[in-house]
Amino acid sequence: MRIADELPTDKPRYREVFGEEFAPTKQDTLDWLASQELVVVPFRAGGPKLGYPSLAIVPSNAAFFALVLVDLQGWASLEEIGPFTPRSILYLAPPMRHTHFGGKQVVVHDRTETLQEVFAYNLYPGPSAKKGVFSVLLDIGEREGWLTLHASSVRVRTPYENETVFMHEGDLGGSAG
């Protein structure tokens, strides 16, 4: 994860790691995406009910990535979302990890006050479809004064009609790691 903007962060900045500004790589990414057949997926970052209107722009030959994103965030049609300005946009450009990052899988966040763009130079949905959207929610929550939990939970209903919710908080969700 690299941060390309000047907003507050405790994460490494793109220019510090790569020795240059992100703008030329961002333009290369958008130019490459413009030459591809694309899948554009509307979703709500954070889930269908309370999530923030967002888009994912994915090359069609990596459509499985869009499917995983929808599986993680929930499907939201444009009709359900209605007219909106995206709060986040996730761009997927896996080949650029070889042309710009020496084969390494990199995710770059470029934020403004109203939009967080996530540039995913990988095919693994974990750092971008899962953790990238989580980072979007962390950023929005910090600005708006609410918490973003990274956890898994389960609701248990006993034969006596009691309900208990267990939540396991941690960076690996439901695993013991």
Rounded mean pLDDT for each run of 10 residues along the chain, 177 residues in total: 95 96 98 97 86 93 91 81 89 95 95 96 80 89 84 85 82 43
Based on the domain organization, do 113 and 165 belong to the same domain? no
Number of domains in the chain: 2
Whether 33 and 99 map to the same domain: the answer is yes
User: What global pTM score does this model have?
Assistant: 0.85
Matching residue, tokens 């695993």:
175
Q: Do residues 132 and 79 both lie within one domain?
A: yes
Same domain, 71 and 90: yes
Helical pair 131-144 and 63-73, crossing angle rounded to 10 deg: 40
pLDDT score, position 20: 97
| DSSP one-letter string for 107-145 | EEEEE-SS-EEEEEESS-HIIIIIHHHHHHHHHHHHHHT
List phi, psi (to 5°) of 78: -60, -35
99 and 176 in a single domain? The answer is: no
Pick from 32, 22, 23: nearest CA to 57: 32
Task: Give the model's pLDDT for residue 47.
Answer: 83
* 153 and 166 housed in the same domain: yes
- Do 6 and 68 fall into the same domain? yes
Residues 110 and 154 in one domain: no
Quote the pLDDT of residue 177.
Answer: 36
**Are 92 and 20 part of one and the same domain?**
yes
Query: Is 163 in the same domain as 142?
Result: no
Do 166 and 122 lie in one domain? The reply is: no
At 78 the pLDDT is 78
* Residue 79 and residue 32 share a domain: yes
- Write out the residue range of the structural domain in which residue 162 sits: 149-177
Task: Identify the CATH number of the domain in which residue 135 sits.
Answer: 3.40.449.10
